[in-house]
Amino acid sequence: MEEKKFDLNSLIGFVLLGAIMIYYFYTNQPTPEQVAEKKAEQVQDSIDKLNAVVQPDTAVYKQQVDQAPVNPSDSLAYSQSQNRLGSFAYSAGLPSATDHETVIENELVKITIANKGGQITEVLLKNFKTYDMLPLYVIKDQNASFNLSFATQDNRNLQTKDLYFEPSLSNNGDNQVLSMKLKVARDRYLEYRYELKPDDYMMDFAIRTQGMETAINTSQAINLDWQLKSFRTEKSVKYENQYTDLRYLQNGGFEYMNAMSDEDEEDVDNLNWVAFKQQFFTSILLAEDKFESAKLVSKNLVQDEDIDTVYTKKYEAYIPLLAKNGELDYNMNMYYGPVDYEILSKYEGQQLDRIVSLGWGIFRWINKFVFIPVFSFLSSFIGNFGIVIILMTIVVRIIMSPVVYKSYLSSAKMKVLRPEMQEINEKYKGKENAMKRQQETMAIQRKAGVNPLSGCIPALIQMPVFFALFRFFPANIDIRQNGFLWADDLSAYDEVLQLPFKIPFYGDHVSLFPILASIAIFFYMQMTQSQQMNMQQPQQEGMPDMQKMMKMMMYFSPIMMMFFFNSFASSLSLYYFVSNLLTIVIMLVIKHFIIDEDKIHAQIQENKKRPEKKKSAFRQRLDDAMKQAQVQQAQKKK
């Protein structure tokens, strides 16, 4: 009886205890606000895990990459990403979805590549400095972009610059290899592959896809958009901008855009390579197989050449990439480095040496086969480039000295013949006798063995040399930031005085080498004035006063030289200064120690006694034409 009572009491106690616990939990459950707050904390925790900065070369990162992406089924951030990116949201869920950057480098160049966009964000050229001695970057501070835009199979339009790539750094022998993969699954991706060799500015680059036919709509072109704003790196904005342009090779033919145009645009086919060129540095994209088409744009960013600027040009290249069998497979190269003829010419079969501004036609030929070899030879054992330029000038002047000698010899002969030609002018006066006068003059010159055109030969020969050198020095990176005497940089102007005002067409500074070159040109022209007058026939009726014109040129040319070269490379002015000094010395030596006018006069008289040589066919036709014109003129008078 007692046992049953105990069991009943126990049952009653448990029931009461359970009721109390139910009442407690009911009265202490969280409010709806507290539930929402807790859920928000859990979501934020998930977002923080996704956005945590994880270094890609650490053991933790490698372990996470090998695993499946974070399961974000309860993540608000991932849901939003998936709605926006579709299958490409996979890449946003990987630990690499951060703003981390990876560096590959060798002895010459340091290249930084970002996870976001998989593109190059910095290129540092280690062996060069800017004009104000700062590190020289070709790419920095978002001045360049490399982007692919494409349509997805679910009708989205995406751009790689907004998406996160997964980096993987490895070695291929001595080469550094960086694979950047934009994934939609573990084994399905778009890949940028960079491979940098030791001691080389050229980098292998490839764009490939694997298993992306269900993610990317390859029936439409995938558009490559490469843009760059070129930094100002040299002392003179105006001078640098003149040699900054876009260059390209299509169908094996070299082309370039006008450097001084505010905006230039070209549609090209079968593009081999495109170069975004500065004066001394360049960025090049080369295709192993030609790009079928491209749109190239060059914009001038220098509005006022007298105002300091960060950028000189903006370049754009729009290139459609076409998939084959549903996949992309483009092998390319990237070059970030100096515009150096010796370096660029080593890449055989690419014609990259055309990026160096050596001029066209005969001017380029002279630079390529004469000035570059001579300069390279002299600089191989002489460290001072100012002395190299002086020695090169001496070599050129010595080579040209026979031409100068022939010019002086012709001048001396014409001087001896001048009295006889004056007699002919007196004998055959008037416009009606102009033809006869010309015939007699040519006859006496022919008998004396004098060619009146021989005085023009030196000028014609020196003109290609002048224009070739005008291109050679601004394109010669070897002289960049190498000084001589008061010039700190032979590739820039040699400022000796800063003016508090600006002179139109001259500038706000004074360069000394152009002044010295102008003075030398003045004395050279003064010496040659009498020589040129000897080469001229005596003044005829109706002809302008040649002597006055030559005097005007004697004063005008040096002044023009001084103004024109004030902002140009001091190496160019140094060359012309030394060249004119040497020419003056050579002319004095020829005049006073080589040419004997008495011997020349005796030789001319001897030539006159000899029977006249048989006329050439050209000479005979010329004489016949003059005689016919003379007859026609006589008939008109009748």
Distance of CA 406 to the CA centre of its chain: 41
* Residue 40 clears pLDDT 70, i.e. is over it: no
Based on the fold, state whether residues 553 and 467 are members of the same structural domain. yes
pLDDT recorded at residue 456: 63
Is residue 279 in some structural domain?
yes
* Residue 445 clears pLDDT 80, i.e. is over it: no
Spatial distance between the Cα atoms of 159 and 144, rounded to a whole number of angstroms: 15
Based on the fold, state whether residues 346 and 205 are members of the same structural domain. yes
Distance of CA 105 to the CA centre of its chain: 23
pLDDT recorded at residue 124: 96
pLDDT recorded at residue 147: 95
Is residue 151 in some structural domain?
no
Spatial distance between the Cα atoms of 288 and 612, rounded to a whole number of angstroms: 67
Highest mean pLDDT among 80-94, 412-426, 441-455 belongs to 80-94
Nearest to 523 by CA among 439, 598, 610, 584: 584
Residue finishing a domain among 357, 385, 413: 357
Based on the fold, state whether residues 438 and 311 are members of the same structural domain. no
Which pair of tokens denotes residue 315?
A: 């370049």
Residue finishing a domain among 325, 357, 389: 357
pTM: 0.75
3-state secondary structure (DSSP) of residue 283: strand
Residue finishing a domain among 357, 391, 410: 357
pLDDT recorded at residue 637: 55
**Of 276-285, 431-440, 469-478, minimum mean pLDDT range:** 431-440
3-state secondary structure (DSSP) of residue 255: strand
Based on the fold, state whether residues 311 and 387 are members of the same structural domain. no
| 276 neighbors 123 (Cβ within 8 angstroms) | no
| Across 605-633, average pLDDT | 59
Spatial distance between the Cα atoms of 84 and 156, rounded to a whole number of angstroms: 8
Spatial distance between the Cα atoms of 417 and 608, rounded to a whole number of angstroms: 12
Residue-number span of the structural domain to which 402 is assigned: 372-620
> Which residue is listed with tokens 């300069």?
375
Mean pLDDT computed over every residue of the chain: 80
> Which residue is listed with tokens 């090779």?
249
Based on the fold, state whether residues 410 and 344 are members of the same structural domain. no
**Of 21-25, 350-354, 532-536, 608-612, minimum mean pLDDT range:** 532-536
Neighbouring CB atoms inside 10 A of 574's CB total 26
Which pair of tokens denotes residue 264?
A: 């230039």
Based on the fold, state whether residues 200 and 255 are members of the same structural domain. yes
pLDDT recorded at residue 213: 87
What's the number of CA atoms in the CB half-sphere (13 Å) around residue 71? 0
- The band of 169, judged by pLDDT with boundaries at 50, 70 and 90, is very high
Distances (CA, A) of 440 to 135, 447, 546: 71, 11, 22
* Residue 50 clears pLDDT 60, i.e. is over it: no
408 compared with 38, residue with greater pLDDT = 408
Largest CA distance in the chain: 175
3-state secondary structure (DSSP) of residue 554: helix
Based on the fold, state whether residues 489 and 574 are members of the same structural domain. yes
Based on the fold, state whether residues 275 and 350 are members of the same structural domain. yes
- What digits encode the pLDDT tens for the residues 592-603? 777 666 666 666
Is residue 66 in some structural domain?
no
| 587 neighbors 408 (Cβ within 8 angstroms) | yes
Is residue 65 in some structural domain?
no
Is residue 386 in some structural domain?
yes
* Residue 188 clears pLDDT 70, i.e. is over it: yes
Is residue 50 in some structural domain?
no
Based on the fold, state whether residues 408 and 471 are members of the same structural domain. yes
Spatial distance between the Cα atoms of 518 and 194, rounded to a whole number of angstroms: 52
User: 512-535 and 385-427 helices cross at what angle (nearest 10)?
Assistant: 30
3-state secondary structure (DSSP) of residue 33: helix
**Of 101-105, 381-385, 394-398, minimum mean pLDDT range:** 394-398
pLDDT recorded at residue 5: 45
- The band of 10, judged by pLDDT with boundaries at 50, 70 and 90, is low
Which pair of tokens denotes residue 184?
A: 């939609």
Distances (CA, A) of 155 to 78, 85, 88, 219, 322: 20, 10, 13, 12, 18
Based on the fold, state whether residues 451 and 326 are members of the same structural domain. no
Spatial distance between the Cα atoms of 95 and 248, rounded to a whole number of angstroms: 40
Spatial distance between the Cα atoms of 205 and 104, rounded to a whole number of angstroms: 13
pLDDT recorded at residue 607: 62
* Residue 286 clears pLDDT 90, i.e. is over it: yes
Buried b (16+ CB within 10 A) or exposed e, 593-602: eebeeeebbe
| Across 21-40, average pLDDT | 58
Which CATH number does the domain housing residue 278 bear? 2.70.98.90
DSSP secondary structure letter of residue 399: H
- What digits encode the pLDDT tens for the residues 330-342? 999 999 999 999 9
Strands 135-139, 495-503: pairing is unpaired
Please name the amino acid found at residue 322: L
Q: Indicate the number of domains in the chain.
A: 2
100 compared with 401, residue with greater pLDDT = 100
Q: Which residues pair with 249 in a beta bridge?
A: 254, 273
> Which residue is listed with tokens 């981390």?
100
Which pair of tokens denotes residue 76?
A: 């608000």
3-state secondary structure (DSSP) of residue 289: strand
Strands 144-151, 175-185: pairing is unpaired
Based on the fold, state whether residues 423 and 340 are members of the same structural domain. no
Is residue 584 in some structural domain?
yes
Distances (CA, A) of 411 to 143, 401, 596: 60, 15, 12
| Across 269-282, average pLDDT | 95
- What digits encode the pLDDT tens for the residues 230-261? 999 998 888 899 899 999 999 888 999 988 88
Residues in the chain: 638
> Which residue is listed with tokens 């031409």?
403
| 583 neighbors 520 (Cβ within 8 angstroms) | no
Is residue 610 in some structural domain?
yes
* Residue 268 clears pLDDT 60, i.e. is over it: yes
* Residue 533 clears pLDDT 70, i.e. is over it: no
Based on the fold, state whether residues 545 and 424 are members of the same structural domain. yes
Spatial distance between the Cα atoms of 93 and 77, rounded to a whole number of angstroms: 10
Distant-in-sequence, close-in-space partners of 20: CB < 8 Å, separation ≥ 6 = none
Q: What DSSP line would sit under 485-538, residue for residue?
A: TTBS-TTS--EEEEEEEEETTTEEEEEHHHHHHHHHHHHHHHHHHHHHHHHSPP
| Across 355-381, average pLDDT | 90
Strands 120-129, 188-196: pairing is unpaired
Q: Which residues pair with 320 in a beta bridge?
A: 223
- The band of 343, judged by pLDDT with boundaries at 50, 70 and 90, is very high
| 361 neighbors 369 (Cβ within 8 angstroms) | no
